[in-house]
Amino acid sequence: MSKIRGSRNRKPYVGRWMLLLCILVVAALLVKVGLRLYDYYQYAEERPISWSFNKHSDDTLRVAFIGDSWAAYHASSDTLLQSLLSGDRRPASVTSLGNVGAKSKEIYQRFFTTSLPLLMQQPDYCVLSAGINDAVAKMGSGYYVHHYLLMIRLLLQAGIKPVVLEMPEVNYRAIAEREGWLMRIHHRISALMTGSEMYSFDAYRRDLWHALVENGLQDSVFFVKADAWNPDGYRDGRCLYRADETHLNALGYQKLDSCIASILKAKKVKKK
């Protein structure tokens, strides 16, 4: 009988240990999720230039196109922009490098990794394409502006003229419809946390321009307004987009590149 009582007395202790173990597991998961969320929304710190640049003896006009998927898919149009920029006995070279789905923070961080070899070539100009993924993920205009300014300041310190593409108009609703329900919930929560609108990019555009003016950078960059190459806007200019209603097709890149070329050719860059 004593043995039976002893086994019964041990059951409450086992139950308490199991409860404590469950609490520890849940706490560990919460900490892990919290750390990931902190890293996800955390702003990147500004980093100094820590590399040397290649010096060129020729007079080639060099242009880098860095950023998100718009930069990645521009690679097939590099020769077009190159031909538009060539002239006045000065050849041109255009190189695009982008990452599909990259937000502004990742694009800035890649300045020190995968984009570094291109920047070390010290192009005359660097076209920046960023923001669509920030808006889709509801990161907030503050997040976007912070990292865009980091990119601009780094390029200026390196003697590279930034060419800022105003955030283009895309079908944000179509993007949301392609997402799974978990991602939709995640973006809803992000919108609440950052105060972002679900299907609007106006705050991103407005706040970036205001930040350029407030920091005295509006004259240090070439700013390419979205309506300069697509005056009809997205709804009336769908012929410039692919079927996904998010990325440019060949005609769209032709319009964009023609606008960029006209802006750059109107300016004279002193050879380094």
pLDDT, residue 5, reads 52
pLDDT, residue 233, reads 75
Contact 40, 109 (CB under 8 A): no
Contact 126, 152 (CB under 8 A): no
In this model, does residue 24 exceed pLDDT 50? yes
C-alpha span between 47 and 96 (Å, rounded)? 23
Contact 194, 140 (CB under 8 A): yes
Segment 125-142 mean pLDDT: 94
Segment 33-57 mean pLDDT: 76
* Pairing, β 125-129 against β 222-224: unpaired
Q: Where are the domains of the chain?
A: 1-42, 51-265
H helices, E strands: number in the chain = 13, 5
C-alpha span between 265 and 82 (Å, rounded)? 12
Q: Which single residue is written with the structure tokens 């020190």?
A: 112
In this model, does residue 32 exceed pLDDT 50? yes
Segment 97-112 mean pLDDT: 96
Q: Which residue from 172, 127, 170, 132 is spatially nearest to 152, judged by alpha carbons?
A: 127
In this model, does residue 262 exceed pLDDT 70? yes
Q: Which CATH number fits domain 51-265: 3.50.50.60, 3.40.50.1110, 3.30.70.360, 3.40.50.10140?
A: 3.40.50.1110
pLDDT, residue 225, reads 95
Question: Tens of pLDDT along 178-227?
Answer: 888 888 887 888 888 888 888 778 899 999 999 999 999 999 999 999 99
Q: Average model confidence (pLDDT) for the chain?
A: 86
In this model, does residue 127 exceed pLDDT 70? yes
pLDDT, residue 55, reads 74
Q: In what order do the strands lie in the sheet with 92-98?
A: 92-98, 61-67, 125-129, 161-165, 222-224
C-alpha span between 116 and 162 (Å, rounded)? 15
C-alpha span between 130 and 68 (Å, rounded)? 6
pLDDT, residue 271, reads 45
Q: Which single residue is written with the structure tokens 């769209």?
A: 252
